[in-house]
Amino acid sequence: MSHHVKESAEGLEVLKADCDQCFGLCCVALPFAKSADFALNKDSGTPCPNLQHDFQCGIHENLREKGFKGCTVYDCFGAGQKVSQLTYNGLDWRKDKGRAQEMFDVFPVMQQLHEMLYYLKEAMNREEAQLIKADLQGLYETIESLTKLEPKALLFLDVRVHRAQVNDLLLRTSELVRKNQNRSKKTSSSFLGAKLRKADLRGSDFRGMLLIAADLREADLRRCDWIGADLRDTDLSGADIRGSIFLTQIQINAAKGSRKTKLPPHLKHPKHWVSSKI
């Protein structure tokens, strides 16, 4: 890979979930409804029946088989351990029931802040974005400082304001990364079930797009922007996605693919891709 398209995963590890350091917050704080993604209904604040006493998932290795596919496509970006170990100093919701609901309310706020940090860090790592690296670094430090606020202050944050600031810089980063590519025109916000096998889609902007069940087998998807794209059951078998920006492991987990799918270096092939033919 040439020097100017070098990708780096530097700093992203600290923005990944560490369930061993979390009090199972996503398994308690978040609600879900019985569907193709979840085998049962669960209200916010109610522990999932699969959550064990040590805050680990009792069916973690078999979530898809047990009807909890939705759990495999969720990422707190490290917010769980931040809330558990920093915001609440290691005191879990079972021991401090008086603050349990507050902890559950703080968690999704922290998740949003950590998601912003993840994307900003990825942008900072791109050599194409060096012209705005100082701006990215400054905003990263600002958002990071917010994650250290006391619980009540976190609950009063207007996350939308900070998200708008982050979004502006991410858009500029995307333009720099996708510059001089064969950028196809966005004709729709939805590519549900689209037949795009072997298509040349280099440098495309898939930001916020619905690509559910789209056929992108063997497509050229290098240097695309994937932020917020819905890739549930999108077939990426044999596709080349190298050099892409703002593509997460969770999006990859939600898609279909094969060992021949070429991914950015910080992402890995999910286990359920093993059986793919291409």
Tokens coding 53: 């006493």
Bin 113: left if φ > 0, else alpha if -120 < ψ < 50, else beta: alpha
Chain segment 24-62, per-residue pLDDT in tens: 999 999 999 999 899 999 999 999 999 999 999 999 999
Query: Secondary structure of 177-222 in the HEC alphabet?
Result: HHCCCCCCCCCCCECCCCECCCCECCCCECCCCECCCCECCCCECC
CA distance 246 to 268: 15
Amino acid at 3: H
Q: What is the DSSP string of the chain?
A: --GGG----TT-GGGS--GGGS-STHHHHS-B-SSSS-SS-B-TTSPPTTB-TTS-BTTGGGTTTTT-GGGGG---TTHHHHIIIIITTT--TTT-GGGHHHHHHHHHHHHHHHHHHHHHHHHHH-GGGGGGHHHHHHHHHHHHHHTTS-HHHHHT--HHHHHHHHHHHHHHHHHHHHTTS-------SB-TT-B-TT-B-TT-B-TT-B-TT-B-TT-B-TT-B-TT-B-TT-B-TT-B-TT-BS--HHHHHHSB--TT-B--TT----GGGTT---
pLDDT band at 190 (very low <50, low <70, confident <90, very high): confident
Q: pLDDT value at position 1?
A: 34
What's this model's pTM, rounded to 2 decimal places? Answer: 0.90
CA distance 275 to 138: 44
Provide, rounded to the nearest whole percent, the portion of the chain with pLDDT above 90: 84
pLDDT band at 3 (very low <50, low <70, confident <90, very high): very low
Give the bridge partners for 240, in sequence order. 220, 262
Chain segment 235-260, per-residue pLDDT in tens: 999 999 999 999 999 999 999 999 99
Q: pLDDT value at position 12?
A: 73
CA distance 98 to 103: 10
Q: pLDDT value at position 267?
A: 93
Domain ranges of the chain: 11-30+74-178, 182-278
pLDDT band at 8 (very low <50, low <70, confident <90, very high): low
CATH number of 182-278: 2.160.20.80
